[in-house]
Amino acid sequence: MLTMQYRIVLPTDYPMAIIERRIAERGHLTDGLPGLAFKTYLYAIKGEPGAAANAYAPFYLWRTAEGMRDFLSGPGFAALSESFGRPVVNVAVAWFGEWQGEAEAARHAVIERLPLSAVEPLAARRAAEEGWGRTRLRDENALGAASAFDPAEWSLTRIVLLREAPDNLGPGCELYRVGRVSLGAA
């Protein structure tokens, strides 16, 4: 599995209702997408807790590299690039990715980015991340979790899909609204 995210920072005065409408009108197009586990349509509104800027930042968990390849070279990503310019796409190797049957009910997501220690054995960290994910999913507020590492930068990205916004955020965490969750083909 792979994770993928791009983050498009929008002007402070950008009417975020445009993003909400875009998600409402086009979000269903990724339902049942081959190779996709899930896509979360994330966005942030400057001034809200955990949001440093207006942003559109979808996050994907892919079952297959071919699904990701086909999406990036397909009409959906071409339309996004036409509207906002071609964004930098961050890709990482998933160590954990699971979701509950009602993942579509998620309304918030927390993304955490951490450096990986150069001396920590990766096998041990992978096992720890699986434990982290399973623990997170025991929380009744959590509907999905994924953890992935980027071997180019030796960093770790975690995402947790939530019904309700958390009471507090840890350091290095970003809070997003979830406009929609699309589940890929089984």
Q: How confident is residue 169, by pLDDT bands cut at 50, 70 and 90?
A: confident
- For domain 2-183, which CATH number applies: 3.30.70.100, 1.10.287.130, 3.20.20.70, 3.10.129.10? 3.30.70.100
pLDDT digits (tens, 9 = 90+) for 10-37: 999 999 999 999 999 999 999 999 999 9
More confident residue, 41 or 167: 41
**Mean pLDDT of the 128-152 span:** 96
> In this predicted structure, what is the pLDDT of residue 50?
84
Given a cut of 90, whether residue 69 has pLDDT beyond it is yes
The predicted pLDDT at position 171 comes to 84
For 163, list phi and psi in degrees, rounded to 5. Answer: -70, -50
Structural domain boundaries in the chain? 2-183
Helices and strands in the chain: count of H runs, count of E runs: 4, 10
Proportion of the chain above pLDDT 70, given as a percent:
100
Residue-wise pLDDT for 153-164, tens only, equals 999 999 999 999
Is residue 170 over pLDDT 90? no
30-39, 58-67, 131-140, 165-174: segment of lowest average pLDDT: 165-174
What size, in residues, is the chain? 186
Residues 6 or more apart whose CB falls under 8 angstroms from that of 65 comprise 2, 35
Tokens of residue 84, six digits? 């906002």
Between vectors from CA 75 to CA 72 and to CA 77, what angle results, nearest 5°? 40
Is a pLDDT exceeding 90 seen at residue 127? yes
**CA dist., res. 75 & res. 78, Å (int):** 5
pTM of the model as a whole: 0.95
